[in-house]
Amino acid sequence: MLISVLCQAGSLSTTLTNDTTDIAHSNTQLSMDIELKNINPKFTELFRETFAFTEEEFALFFSCFTVKIIPKKKYFLRAGECCRSKAYLNKGCARNFVLDEKGHERILFFSFEDWWLGDFDSYYSGKRATNFVQMMEDSELLIISKENFQKMELEIPKLKQWYSFKMLRSASAARNRIEEMKTLSAEERYLNLLEKQPHICQRIPQQYIASYLNIEPQSLSRMRNRLKNKY
């Protein structure tokens, strides 16, 4: 079967970049082969099981991705650029943030393994991105261009089901984020964050968690000490 050939040959090429701007502009790249067995199993489960891709459909779809390694602190996307690809976070973590009118960073959310990265308003509208997407760890991304994804939607109609599913989840997450900011205290938002992402304190520095909660790092430190004594 086609998928077996792809797995044996290594169907994706990997790119390592040390560029400080959008990865699409990188000039220093190291290409390697990567096998399907090294891809997060949830990626395969999503398309093979949840959306019932055949072996041939999955192999065709998978062959459209490239794998890129982006070092910690480097960017997948910067505000002002046009987002022309989707990226699956195979390994690592990232943050999406915007700049307010005073130039202060406002973190929208953190992304971990099995998340999709990008500025999706920019991706679908063709307008310039408002989000920065920065790696918080050395990260491995599976990237598919907008052009290739649109071709795959014609070849594999099931992809439109995934799009509808993803948009519903994204809209729900955005709504919940707004509701939390308006109705919950900083402590309640922090506890919610720990409940949803219990590993976050081991992977994200305190200053970024404080920014996400819209409080000062010193306030977060006092809150954490208070909660330790409380519980």
Query: Domains plus CATH for the chain?
Result: 2-156 (2.60.120.10)
pLDDT of residue 196: 87
pLDDT of residue 113: 95
Cα(211)–Cα(186) distance, integer angstroms: 11
pLDDT of residue 97: 95
Q: Which residues of the chain have pLDDT under 70?
A: 1-34, 163, 231
Distances (CA, A) of 149 to 7, 44, 105, 154, 171: 21, 17, 31, 9, 21
Q: What strand order describes the sheet that includes 94-99?
A: 75-77, 132-135, 94-99, 105-111
pLDDT of residue 231: 64
pLDDT of residue 34: 59
Cα(153)–Cα(7) distance, integer angstroms: 23
pLDDT of residue 91: 96
SS3 126: coil
Name the phi and psi angles at 67, rounded to 5.
-110, 130
pLDDT of residue 145: 96
